[in-house]
Amino acid sequence: MTTHLPPNQSLDTDSSAQESPMPNNVLNNDEPDNQEMIDENTDALDNGDLLEEDSDIDGEIDDSDIDDGDDEVPVAGQAIPVVVDMTHIVTEDQSGLRIDKVASQVFADFSRVQVQGWITDGSLLYNGSVQRPKVRVKADDVLHLSTTLQQHSEDQPENIDIDVVYEDDDVLVINKPVGMVVHPGAGNQTGTLVNALLYHYPQQHHLPRAGLVHRIDKDTSGLLLIGKTKPAQMALMEQLKDKSVYRHYQCVVAGDAASLLRHRRIDAPIGRHRTQRTKMTVMTAGREAVTHLLNVTPLNENYCLLDVGLETGRTHQIRVHLSHITYPLVGDRVYGGRRQLRSGLSEAQRQAISNFPRQALHAYTLGFVHPTTGEDVEVTTPLPEDMQQLIAVLSNGYDDEYDK
């Protein structure tokens, strides 16, 4: 089913954003506050405050998960050392190839970048000594790999289908379906994206959170960025901190286009609710949070499809900000409530809104700088079927009404 949108009704709030998705660094602050991002991520990992059914929240993965100094929020499963000790005798067919080429072939459970790192740091020896990756090998030469990996024992692999939309030696981008929790936590030890990754990519087992760089809500669909090696994961996390990763979302909200256009930039600090600890809220003591409404497309007089860009990455940021300006996401039971139902709805439209089982939010575009090649990479994925159907019902008949 294709997305049904009224023709010629896309109200661009920023012509440059409409011509092309937000380029790298377009939302950069002059001096990114890296400590603020780290603090935010630690808060997002504080699953002790979360209900069982909402134990997966928007946010970046704290880089203290990568280092071993995270006492406040340990990764699921205690890290245990796994010793790798492998030897390979160069064959006649491999004679004349570079060391890194042969090593990548024979130690295929690891990425090319990992292998090159081990050659450089001496973990992978050539005839008992450290050599440059470009040195050519001869038959009967010996490659010996000896290193220790950190493996997280409690996250178990599970044969769960995943939708891979981009993959190379260093990076993986997954289109997460609605209802899938991103990583194991309280009440969600199985059936998560991490469990699926460990089955399909067993080499991810030695990476914290199986290489995850950020995450989205259980009931939000869309793109997630994953590093396939430790250097790639670290580099992508750094990009999140300096805002060279950009993420665009599409969402259906209860609000008219004219009103929404008055809120093209929502700048309101967000913190954890003082009494309802599973919720976030706009508060003066919160952390800086900025959301951009890049494009507003009316579906009817009181509902719109939004294209949203994040300048910061606070927990539940889009949902909280749109609720704060009184235009909540359709299906958002936590931040929307009765305000989702506006006047002038047909019975079919009212039922479609009332019965929509989750927040109508989809992460459809993800852009980043490739951690190895330095090239700009952009990945997109279409709206899921449930949102397409919702849009079709809400915009039904509005084309004719608008053309009168």
What gap in Å lies between CA 76 and CA 325, rounded to an integer? 36
Q: What are phi and psi of 308, to 5 degrees?
A: -120, 135
Two tokens at 97? 């190839």
Burial of residue 132, with CB atoms counted within 10 A of its CB: 0-12 exposed, 13-18 middle, 19 or more buried:
exposed
CB atoms within 10 A of CB 327: 24
DSSP letter (8 states) at residue 74 = P
Instruction: Report the interhelical angle of 112-121 vs 230-242 (nearest 10°).
Output: 100
Which residues are registered as beta bridge partners of 380? 365
What span, in angstroms and rounded, lies between the C-alpha atoms of 149 and 129?
21
User: And the tokens for 319?
Assistant: 């949902």
SS3 44: helix
What is residue 14's three-state secondary structure?
coil
Q: How far apart are CA 42 and CA 37, in angstroms?
A: 9
The pair of three-digit structure tokens given for residue 211, joined into one six-digit string = 């290489």
Please name the residues in contact with 139: beta carbons below 8 A apart, sequence gap of 6 or more: 90, 91, 92, 94, 95
- Beta strand 221-227 with 361-369 is parallel
Alpha helices in 107-186 (DSSP H): 112-121
Cα dist. 246→25, 68, 123, 287 in Å? Answer: 8, 28, 35, 19
- Do 21 and 365 form a contact (C-beta atoms < 8 A)? yes
Catalytic residue flag (residue 63): no
Which one from 62, 141, 217, 307 is the annotated catalytic residue? 217
Give the active site residues: 217
